[in-house]
Structures are given as C-alpha cells and as structure tokens.
Structure 1
Amino acid sequence: MSEKQPTSELLQRYLDGTCSDAERKLIDDWYQRLDNEDYATLSDQEILRDLDHVQKKIGLAKPGVPRWLYYVAAATVLIAMGVFLRLAWEPSTSPDHVTGVPLAAKDILPGSDQATLTLSDGRIITLDETNEHPIKGESGAYTIQHVADGIRYDKSGSPVPADPLTPQYHTLETPIGKQVRLTLPDGSNVWLNARSSLTYAANNFEEARTVRLEGEAYFDIFHDTSNPFRVVTEEQIITVLGTKFNVNSYPDELGTTTTLVSGKVEVKPQNGAGLVQLSSGQQAFVDADGMTTHVQSAHIDAAIAWTIGLFKFEGNTIDEVMRQLGRWYDVAIVFEGPKPSTKLWGEVHRNAPAEIPLKLLDFFNFKHEVSLVNGKPRIVIFNQLKKEVKQ
C-alpha cells in the first residue's frame, strides 16, 4: 500500500457517502480551506501545518519513513483532494455541465416492449410491437411466435426433430428502457426487465430447464417434480420445482436479490458454502462475490411492481431509486457531492414521462437538473442536505 492510499480511500468513502461523521467533517474543513485560499500561494509553514493536521487525524506517517518524503506524498494527495472536491461540489467546473442543453423532464419518455433475440446460427432478430411474425428455428423443430402479449415457442406440427446433443442456445436481450415477456418451450413464463439478458438451450429445453440471467426477471415456472428448473446468475444458482419469484441481478447492484412470491426455491451462492431454502414472502441476498447469503422478509409488492407497470419504493435509498429510473428512461445519473442515505417511499406508474417519478425528489427536498449531454438525457442530483437524518 502506498503512503497516499489511505487518504485516497477516505476521499472515495466521502464521495460515496459512506464515511463517518468525523471523517466527513475533516474533509469538509479541508475543502473550506481549499475553497477560500489559493493553495499555491500558501507558505511552507502553512503547508506543513496542514499536513501535520492530516497526519494526526488519519495517521498516514509510519515509523522509519523520512518526514520529508511523507510531506511530498501527502501534499500530492491533499492537492488532488482539492481538485476532486471542486469537481464534485462545483457544477460549473464540469465540462459536461457546460455543454449540457436544458431538457424538460416531460420530454423523457418511458420504455416499451422490445427485445432482440440472438439465435445459435448467429441471426439477430429485433422483436417489437410492430413485427408480429413466426421465426423458424435453426433445426426446423419449432417456430418462435412474437405475439401481442410477448414471445413464445411453438413446437406443434414441426416435422424435424431437434438434436438434443447439440444445444441451440438463444439469448433474449432487452436494451435500456425496454422489457418483454417470454414463454419458454416448457411453458414457463418469464418477464424480462430493462437492460437484461436471458440465455437458454431452445431445442432441448424441456430436459435442461436451465437459464442464465443477467439483469432482472420475474419467473412463473411450469411445475415438473421430476425435472427442476434452474436460474443461474453470476453470484448464485436457484433451483425450483414450480413457483413464482423475482431475481434482480444487475451488475451495478451490490449483489443478487431473489424474492419468492409463492412456492419454494433453493438458493446456492456460486462461491460460498451452504444452501438456503426460501418460503413464500422471503428474500435472499447474495453479495457480489457470490459468497454470503442473507435471508429476510420481503416487500413482495415492491419487488414485482415493475411487472405490472409500477415503480414502488419502500425505504429505498435515492441511489437505488435512480438506478431503476436510469435503466427505464435511458438516462445518465450523476450525483453532485456524496450520495445521500435518505430513504424514499412512493409509487409511480412506469408509463409516465420522467417528470412524474422525479417529483419524488422534490418531495424529499432534493434539487435536480435535467439536461441533454452529447445527445443523451442526464439527471444531476445535488446533495443539499448538510446533515442527514439517520433512519
């Protein structure tokens, strides 16, 4: 570890909003000094005084390290801190802020039903509300029907049998701001949320009954006692017989959350020991390392609200809320200053323009700004709260 790494870690915790009150006050004090004085004009004595303050508060200096070397390293970090803090707290210094064009939130429209299907022969098919037509499978053993209520596989009347020894993997993907419903070859139904993908062997699915998920999906599984259904994510493996459950496994979340609506499922972390069995109304969280599993009571309505066209927040942080909005409205989310830990409650229709869910920010006294930067909508949230109320 370098001499300046601990200070860098403190700065990162400050920007993430995870540092302690004492650490936050320390950096606020530094920022105020850097904001009021030109650091380049300070005398040697003033610089040494500041660095002594850093050393005493954080304990950077170690036995055997020459004091002059410590000052050089710490001075570099302190000056870099000033640059980072100015960028974080002064919107006018951000290049994006200068080039951003003001945009009305009412002009940011919600997502819709759309997806792409990649077949094992390399064909990529765009599926949306305007192209309802059958797609012939690679082996001729099935057709894929894109109908009003989603996508489904149909094997009736197919004269050519599938080769079970050669899996034909299909990948269904939804971009940001889109979602789709899929009926798998075994009759199980899957609702795939925005920016998600589902991979499965289409030709012998009734035997394999395994899908790989990235993102979020709600499953209504066809019951087959002799052949369990499996959902594989980066962090875990879920085994089910017949049940309804939601899986949130986005890469930008802290881990994978499995919420059981009805029935029973088994959750096994990919890299950890043990197996957890969930009952209806429970929720399992597996951390991003695929090691630890935590079980708790679930807010079922909130977890599956997206499947019925709602955002529903039950004490979510503003960071969690904005990740959901960003994926659905295809907008970049920027926080000016540390991310607040304030909890939000509310329910909003997903088919409304972005100005409707953004009213939640106004209700909880968060100032925000909407603009167009390089052709992409961006929402900036300003942390106006000097002292956050602990929930």
Structure 2
Amino acid sequence: MDKKLFFEIIDKFLKGKANPKEQELLFKQYDAFQKNGQDWDDSEHGEYEEVRTSIYERIRSEIDKKEKNLFNRHWAKIAIASCLLIACSLVVYFRNNNDILGNKVVSSQVIKPGGNEATLTLQDGSKVLLNAVNIGEIAQQGNIKITKTKDGQLVYTIAANNDNDGIQTESYNSIETPRGGQYQINLPDGSKVWLNAASSLKYPTVFKGTERKVELTGEGYFEIAKDKTHPFKVITQNQQVEVLGTHFNIDAYNDNGNTKTTLLEGSVKAGLINSSDSKTLKPGEQMIVNQQKISVIEVDTEEAIAWKNGYFMFNNESLETVMNKIARWYNIDIDYNGNKINKTFGGSISRFKNVKDVLSMLELTGSVHFKIEGRRVIVMP
C-alpha cells in the first residue's frame, strides 16, 4: 500500500467511515509500515501518540459498555483497531475473558467455506460439472462457444463472422450452484451474472427478439450490458425486473419469504408477476416483495452485495436469517434443538473462514452458543 492511501484510510477509520475492506488493509499493512521506518507526519496526520490514544479509548469504551453485543457494526472497527494499536486481536482478548465470551464453539470438525462450484445443463439435457472440467472450451452449440476461464468463469461467445442466425431455434441452458457453491457467468450479450450458493439461472444461448429474458432462483448479482432497444428481464417466482443496462442484486431465496431487489447503478423497473403494479428504483433503493405486497426502502448497497465481495454482512437480522446464510455457504444443517432465540445480529466477517470462526464471532454476543457434530450445527441459548 502506498503511503498516501495508508493515511487516507487511517483518517477514514478515525472518523468511523472505513469499510471492511479498508479495515482489512490496515490490519495487514500497519505493522509493516512501522517496521519499514516510514515517516508519520504529525503536522499532517496528528500527533502519533494522540492518534493511538484516541483509537484505544474507543476500544475501551466499547468493551466497557453494559451491552455485551460486540458482534455488530462496530466489531470490525474494534478488532482492526486493536490489531493496529496493541498488536493483538480482540478476538484473542475476548477468548481469554470468560465474562464476555462465555462458552466456545464445541467442535473437532473442520468445515471449510464454499467455492466456485456449479453444474451447467445444456439444451440436450447433458450436464457439465464445471469444477471438474479443464480450462478452455467445454461445449459448442451452433455458433455459440462455451468456455471455462482460469479464474472460474463461464463465458458465452458468438463465433467470429457469424450472427445470431447460427441457431435457428431458441436454445436454453441453465447453471445451478449447490449449497457451498458460487459461480460467475458471462452471457452472449456481454452481461455478467454472479450466482450465490443454492441458486440457478436459466437463459437462452442467444438473445433473440425484442427482449433479453432470464429466470432466477436463489440470489444473483447482475451487471447488464446496455442495449436500449432490447430490455433485459429477470423473472423470479413472484417478481419481474426490467432494465436497459444497470447493476443490481436480487435475493429470491424461498426460505425468507421475501424477494429483495437492490439497485446499485442505473435504473430498474420491478413489480409482481402478471400485475401492472410496479415501481422504478433509484440507486441505493431496495424493493421488497412480500406476499403480493411491494415496499421500497433506502439501504446500504454494500450490505446487499457483501456475499459477492466475499463477506457476510448482517444488519439487525434474526438468528434464523443469519444461520440460513451460513448454512447455504458452508453446506451444513442447522438444528435449533427446540430453542427459540429472539435476538438480532449485525456485523461483517469474511466468508472464507472456517465456519467455527464465524460461529465464534456470533457467540461474542453471549446470547447464543453452538456445537458442531459432523456437518450439523446445534444452536443453543
């Protein structure tokens, strides 16, 4: 990290505006910066010891709060600050403080996070396990070439000097991610789609006619190639989203009862299937469809696409919602053992940690504990 960027992130952190990625950069770079003898300019960045003291006092104030719910939006700031200033993680500190931590996650099982894994189903019904095939061309349908790239993407390209007439009849493919899987697909029109775990996308190998239409189950993040004459439509179980060229996320998992469409860039029109009831979203807005009812709210878009960027990010979510996300990504089963825990959670943590680390962070609240048996997680108060 160059010095200018380092101090910019330090300044954002002190103001409470550093995002998880920036905090992670500080975590990795602070000690190296000091060991390499790079200069701290007191006149520009403030007295070094005062900065240390300021952040340390913030740490202590959080620890001393009567509410022990440390797994919230301040958690990342606290953990990173402690690593920056006193060279030890608060996770370690709290694990030695039984008054705060309580019981630890009980497990001898190592459950690794998910990764790039999906199954491609071709028009003729044949299936391709994408994590099992080599890099390069994996299929060709008419003049459409399907390629797997070295960074785990599925790419559709129209052969050179050909047009869409190379396929005379409408041909469909589908890609499905399992629990514990994710995948990116680049469609023939240049649009990009990221699929979260336990999701699927059905799409034509070539977009013909006046519109570009795909069908989604689960969750997907879309970056749609601009084409004003051919609107792009995403159909879910109870919703239709129409765009011309934009970035948005759709969470259409059936287990939460809601379908959430979050707009990051451009404009989308979304509404109920077979209904004239629709709304146009602006960037930073989310439309929620629940039992044929539509509402629009302003949201933190970073939270909506945290999964795509490699994070779990929760914002006052129920334990059940949190555990559903964890279960899909780690391909585990959840057993509540008859216990009802009315508690909401917030915060962020990498999706690429052992599941035990994620559960340990939840345990910092003191309101929930876990036991792991094989690939089953038992939730206890």
1:225 to 2:223 alignment: no
Q: After TM superposition, give the deviation of residue 103 of structure 1 in Å.
A: 4.3
Question: What percentage of aligned pairs have identical amino acids?
Answer: 33
Q: How does 1:22-37 map to 2 (within 5 A)?
A: none
Q: After TM superposition, give the deviation of residue 163 of structure 1 in Å.
A: 5.6
In structure 2, C-alpha distance between the alignment counterparts of 1:255 and 1:113, rounded to whole Å: 26
Q: After TM superposition, give the deviation of residue 138 of structure 1 in Å.
A: 2.8
Residue number in structure 1 paired with 2:108 = 104
1:122 to 2:120 alignment: no
In structure 2, C-alpha distance between the alignment counterparts of 1:296 and 1:117, rounded to whole Å: 35
Q: How does 1:225-244 map to 2 (within 5 A)?
A: 225-244=228-247
Q: Which residues of structure 2 form unaligned runs of 5+?
A: 1-105
- TM-score for the superposition, normalised by structure 2: 0.68
Residue number in structure 1 paired with 2:53 = none
Residue identity opposite 1:142 in structure 2? I
Q: Is the 8 A contact 1:361 1:368 kept in 2?
A: no
1:199-221: CA deviation from partner (whole Å, max 9, x where unpaired)? 01113358541110000000011
Residue number in structure 2 paired with 1:306 = 307
Residue number in structure 2 paired with 1:169 = 172
Larger relative contact order (C-alpha < 8 A, sep ≥ 6)? 2
CA-based RMSD of the aligned residues comes to 2.0
Residue identity opposite 2:350 in structure 1? H
SS in 2 for 1:277: strand
1:15-66: CA deviation from partner (whole Å, max 9, x where unpaired)? xxxxxxxxxxxxxxxxxxxxxxxxxxxxxxxxxxxxxxxxxxxxxxxxxxxx
- Larger mean CA deviation between 184-193 and 339-348 belongs to 339-348
Aligned with residue 202 of structure 1, among 200, 205, 212? 205
Q: Is the 8 A contact 1:162 1:204 kept in 2?
A: no
In structure 2, C-alpha distance between the alignment counterparts of 1:204 and 1:157, rounded to whole Å: 17
Q: After TM superposition, give the deviation of residue 137 of structure 1 in Å.
A: 2.4
In structure 1, C-alpha distance between the alignment counterparts of 2:111 and 2:209, rounded to whole Å: 41
Question: 1:228–1:204: structure 2 CA closer, same or farther, 3 Å change rule?
Answer: closer
Residue identity opposite 1:244 in structure 2? H
Residue number in structure 2 paired with 1:34 = none
1:177-218: CA deviation from partner (whole Å, max 9, x where unpaired)? 010111100000100111100001113358541110000000
In structure 1, C-alpha distance between the alignment counterparts of 2:166 and 2:147, rounded to whole Å: 21
Q: Is the 8 A contact 2:221 2:247 kept in 1?
A: yes
Aligned with residue 148 of structure 1, among 147, 150, 154? 150
1:327 to 2:328 alignment: yes
Question: 1:286–1:268: structure 2 CA closer, same or farther, 3 Å change rule?
Answer: same
Q: How does 1:12-91 map to 2 (within 5 A)?
A: none
Q: Runs of 4 or more off by more than 6 Å in structure 1?
A: none
Q: After TM superposition, give the deviation of residue 169 of structure 1 in Å.
A: 0.6
Residue identity opposite 2:188 in structure 1? P
Residue identity opposite 1:171 in structure 2? S
Residue identity opposite 2:373 in structure 1? S
1:264 to 2:267 alignment: yes
Greater radius of gyration (CA): 1
In structure 2, C-alpha distance between the alignment counterparts of 1:158 and 1:116, rounded to whole Å: 30
Q: Is the 8 A contact 2:210 2:231 kept in 1?
A: no
Question: 1:161–1:275: structure 2 CA closer, same or farther, 3 Å change rule?
Answer: closer
SS in 2 for 1:137: strand
In structure 1, C-alpha distance between the alignment counterparts of 2:270 and 2:244, rounded to whole Å: 13
In structure 2, C-alpha distance between the alignment counterparts of 1:207 and 1:148, rounded to whole Å: 34
Q: After TM superposition, give the deviation of residue 339 of structure 1 in Å.
A: 3.4
In structure 2, C-alpha distance between the alignment counterparts of 1:124 and 1:158, rounded to whole Å: 29
